[in-house]
Chains A and B, each alone.
Chain A
């Protein structure tokens, strides 16, 4: 019996599952925000929160431990130099899972957004941030926002699409 054993199996073999979590952790470090199914998002939190904790330790050993998961020096660098410093002094709660309103067409899987609680700007956007931002962002952002996106006034908040690379945070 598997009573009280933490973690979901997600219908995968152990190596498949581990590989998937690593891939997803890499994606989250790269894009800062990913959209996936709700159970997967909740599982990947464990992997990513541990990575951020390593980034806070900021030692050579921690870097090597993080590299064991990410296996990419650029990603380790980003984790330690960009993402880690945002959370200095924060004891936990590095990631946030927010459920999406509509399930996935096709299999009706409940979806969620997994993201870092502190965006590249420094702190988590406050409730008023969305309304306050339109003017300044629309003045500066058009060059950065991908051309396919609607004109800046329609897309004011610095909220990259869930599946697209977070271009703005990198630029800043």
Chain B
């Protein structure tokens, strides 16, 4: 069975993990001032492109 000859050093481990990260969402600011995602109904005001699509209470 193939087995690693050497223990992976902290440095190598760190280098491998240097690309492990959570994607940062592309947040924009809605007209209502809240942060929201582009091309989506704003969760806080329920609006998108001037259309009121959700009740404010229902906005999630």
Residues of A within 8 A of B (CB): 98-102, 113, 115, 124-130, 149-150, 154-155, 157, 159-162
Contact = CB atoms under 8 A, between A and B. Distances in A.
Contacts of B37: 101
Contacts of A115: 53
B48 A125 contact: no
B50 A159 contact: no
Top 3 nearest A-B pairs (CB, nearest first) are: A127-B50, A101-B43, A157-B52
Interface residues of B, number: 22
DSSP majority for the B interface?
Answer: loop
A129 B51 CA distance: 8
Contact of A99 (B41, B51, B52, B57): B41
A101 B39 CA distance: 8
Contact of B41 (A113, A125, A127, A149): A113
Given A127-B49, A159-B52, A100 B41 contact: yes
B10 interface: no
Contacts of A125: 50-52
B52 A130 contact: yes
B47 A162 contact: no
Contact of B60 (A102, A128, A149, A159): A102
Contacts of B46: 159
B50 A128 contact: yes
Contacts of B36: 101
